Amino acid sequence: MSDAPLIRTSRLLSSLNWLEHAFLPAGMAPPAESAFGHQRHTATVITAEEAFPPKVREADGVLTNGSRPAAIYTADCLPVLIADTRQYQVAAVHAGLKGALAGVLMQAVTRLISGGATPDSLFVAIGPAIASCCYELGNEVMDNIRANPLVTAPRYFSQQPRNERAIRPQARATQHGIWFDLPALGRQMLLDMQIPAAQIEVLPVCTYCSAEPRSSYRRNTHTNEGYDLRYAWIRRR
């Protein structure tokens, strides 16, 4: 086993030679000049200029057409990086269940489109996040999800899915609930905004059972082993 930290990238975003991006492992600092908001699970998206110095403004998404890295931090939430091949804008979005249901992905895409993007000019990568193998929700939460008009095709399982890629035990059921597919929710919202399916990549890494140690907030609530934030960033070259 190597001790080198595992920096993940998207095959799709790596195919765009005008940008750089990374999904960093738990505990690794983002580039020093990165812009990011004070995240509150909202639908607020601001520019990188507004989000620097970091955390001076409340926001859960950062976009820019400049070269400053747009960044977000997550534990189990969706880290979503977006590139616009028409106007060369980039965006980083923190979309947990609450932020996704509040519309943060729609807000980010709407802002990019007002900057000159079109849905078919957008390329999106959804990084490591808690997946249906480990994300149990109670039935009341599930009722709220079903009632949300932004959720057109909820994907969930009554039996806990087995993750073939797991490198540590999956979450144990605690509430006889359902196993919700948060990455699929993000993907569905992007598809509903007419982004082509071939331009959306979901990295198959669950923060609870298949990412590096200390990646998962929920795992820590079960095991008390601690967790560190995971940064994702994207910028124009």
CB of 170 to Zn ion, least distance (A): 5
Tell me which DSSP letter residue 129 carries: B
Q: For residue 125, how many other CB atoms are within 10 A of its CB?
A: 25
Q: Please say which residue, 41 or 218, places its beta carbon nearer to Zn ion.
A: 218
Of the candidates 51, 206, 229, 234, which one interacts with Zn ion according to CB under 5 A?
Answer: 206
Q: Is 190 in the site for Zn ion (CB under 5 A)?
A: no
CA 216 – CA 46 distance, rounded (Å): 26
Q: Is 211 in the site for Zn ion (CB under 5 A)?
A: no
Q: List Cα–Cα distances, 61 to 42, 74, 165, 174, in angstroms.
A: 9, 12, 30, 32
Of the candidates 97, 124, 133, 185, which one interacts with Zn ion according to CB under 5 A?
Answer: 133
CA 192 – CA 196 distance, rounded (Å): 9
Q: Is 129 in the site for Zn ion (CB under 5 A)?
A: no
Q: Under a CB-based contact definition with an 8 Å cutoff, are residues 81 and 95 in contact?
A: no
Q: Is 75 in the site for Zn ion (CB under 5 A)?
A: no
In this chain, which stretch among 34-42, 116-124, 160-168, 228-236 interacts with Zn ion, using CB under 5 A?
160-168
CA 111 – CA 91 distance, rounded (Å): 10
CB of 188 to Zn ion, least distance (A): 19
Q: Is 203 in the site for Zn ion (CB under 5 A)?
A: no
The contact set with Zn ion (CB under 5 A) reads: 133-134, 163, 206, 208-209
